[in-house]
Chains A and B, each alone.
Chain A
């Protein structure tokens, strides 16, 4: 079984400042890792994903994330945020090995990013 921990429930940040959202996971098997964003009253949109290969992953809207296997982390960063980045961000993992679990996404609790001028 996997678990996902998002270490910050809320992150206030000023416009044009950098932001980092922390995500740690635990799993005994290989996993896919994802970051999703949810704007108010909307569904979830995929920001980026890590499957294999380069540990630095670039996504949409200027976001990037770094996979660190030794620390079992997948932190999300953006060098300069905009007001429009105010949203809930979810880290998620999916088991690649256990066929009964294929397709399941295990989400972290979410991090609310609030960008102010």
Chain B
């Protein structure tokens, strides 16, 4: 299995809703990432998990809450989002964060397209 699987593919949520995005990989990768991509823009890093521990938080608002329950699974919990949070949310993984692991590159999922109404 050489894929990163993201669910759901599309999500529409109201500003008072709570929802979660799910990301799964079975490649034995020990680093997992959340990126946010607005239309016609490059992806922007949100969070990095390394060996199930949060390593990097790029000053993301607390209405986004990541969770890494095990080495294969990464969640992004959403609460009280704003319309400007509408974007494509991409999950990625790599063998690890460091010199050797990142040299193989990231594997990206297809993303969850989120619309906040």
A: residues with CB less than 8 A from B are: 32, 34, 36, 41-46, 49, 51, 90, 94, 96, 99-100, 102-105, 107-110
Contacts and interface: CB of A to CB of B under 8 A. Distances in A.
A96 B105 CA distance: 13
Nearest to B31: A103
Contacts of B80: none
Q: Which 6 pairs show the lowest CB-CB distances between chains A and B?
A: A103-B97, A107-B42, A43-B108, A44-B108, A102-B97, A46-B105
Contacts of B102: 32, 94, 102-103
B90 A43 contact: yes
A46 B107 CA distance: 7
Interface stretch (B12-20, B48-56, B59-67, B68-76): B48-56
B7 interface: no
A43 B111 contact: yes
A103 B56 contact: yes
Most buried by B among A42, A100, A103, A110: A103
A41 B88 CA distance: 9
A43 B41 contact: no
B99 to A, nearest CB: 6
Given A103-B50, A103-B102, 16 more contacts: A43-B108, A44-B92, A44-B106, A90-B43, A94-B102, A99-B98, A102-B102, A103-B31, A103-B55, A103-B56, A105-B43, A105-B45, A105-B106, A109-B41, A110-B40, A110-B41
